[in-house]
Amino acid sequence: MSLSTPADTPVQIVVPDPAGPNARPLVSTERRLTPSWSVSTLKGKLEPITGIPSASQLLRIAAIDGSWTPMDDDGALLSSFPLHKGAMIEVVDTRPRGAQVNWGNVGEVEKYVMPEEDYARRNDSVMAWKKRQKLGRFDPGQKSVEGLGGARERGCVWVGVELDEPAGRNDGSVEVERDEGKSAVRLWEGRAKHGVLVRPEKVEAGDEWTVLDDLFDEDMEEI
């Protein structure tokens, strides 16, 4: 006669959000459980999955009919509960609310935030790579329209364009010839060497061309 152990059973492990049953679970994952495990063993295996210490876990399992059965006997085997394929085991954190960590809310997770100045000085970042490749706002071809029709004195209508990099010829002001001599005309407030004037037929504008933020550019996100 051969002896065999019950097969592992796939179940859904859920950590409910304290905000209520309609809130998205903090944890929802499928795991295979061995029926010969004790509740205590299960709690130990759930600790790294849920982030809840074993002593602070309150377990219950949903039967096929939807009723809940408490798993409050640490010495009981899982086979003594209505364990079935697809069953849901709920793990409630019994610690005070202030001692709980919501891993689903990154704002509550302690993390290091690098100052923008330090990030800008690094040579191994996405920003540094984009600088070398002249992409995003480091591409002199990335421009924004700033002034329209302000330079008629130069013989026709010109379009003032603000470049993302200092590859221009002015800061939004241009010199024009007047009877009393040359004088500066301010078309817009720009940065030094970021402004150029171009003919209207050479300009195409639209919402699809926007200034890129190197720290929040989704297409070039730092991994």
More confident residue, 88 or 190: 88
In a domain, 182, yes or no: yes
More confident residue, 94 or 172: 94
Highest mean pLDDT among 7-16, 99-108, 171-180, 206-215: 7-16
In the structure, what pLDDT confidence band is assigned to residue 46 with cuts at 50, 70 and 90? Answer: very high
In a domain, 131, yes or no: no
Residue 49 makes CB contacts below 8 A (sequence gap 6+) with: 13, 27, 29, 31
What is the pLDDT at residue 222? 40
DSSP letters spanning 159-207: EEEEESSS-SSBSSEEEEEETTEEEEEE-S---TT-EEEE-GGG----T
Q: What's the CA gap between 137 and 143, in Å, rounded? A: 8
More confident residue, 27 or 186: 27
One domain, residues 95 and 15: yes
**Rounded (5°) CA angle 210-147-179:** 160
pLDDT digits (tens, 9 = 90+) for 57-73: 999 999 888 899 999 99
What is the pLDDT at residue 7? 81
Give the domain CATH number at 84.
Answer: 3.10.20.90
Provide the number of structural domains found in the chain. 2
pLDDT digits (tens, 9 = 90+) for 4-21: 456 899 999 999 988 787
Distances (CA, A) of 10 to 4, 16, 27, 62, 180: 18, 19, 16, 14, 88
One domain, residues 89 and 143: no
CA-based torsion, 180, 181, 187, 190: positive or negative: negative
The one-letter amino acid at 128: A
One domain, residues 78 and 152: no
One domain, residues 19 and 96: yes
CA-based torsion, 18, 21, 22, 27: positive or negative: positive
In a domain, 128, yes or no: no
In a domain, 70, yes or no: yes
Maximum alpha-carbon separation in the chain:
114
Residue range of the domain that includes 192: 139-204+211-220
One domain, residues 16 and 91: yes
pTM over the 0.75 mark: no
In a domain, 191, yes or no: yes
In the structure, what pLDDT confidence band is assigned to residue 206 with cuts at 50, 70 and 90? Answer: low
In a domain, 117, yes or no: no
In a domain, 114, yes or no: no
| Number of helical (H) and strand (E) elements in the chain, helices listed first | 3, 10
CB 29 within 8 A of CB 13: yes
One domain, residues 93 and 165: no
Q: What's the CA gap between 131 and 118, in Å, rounded? A: 16
What is the pLDDT at residue 53? 92
One domain, residues 100 and 144: no
More confident residue, 43 or 141: 43
Give the domain CATH number at 178.
Answer: 2.30.30.190
In the structure, what pLDDT confidence band is assigned to residue 207 with cuts at 50, 70 and 90? Answer: low
One domain, residues 93 and 179: no
In the structure, what pLDDT confidence band is assigned to residue 37 with cuts at 50, 70 and 90? Answer: very high
What is the pLDDT at residue 199? 76
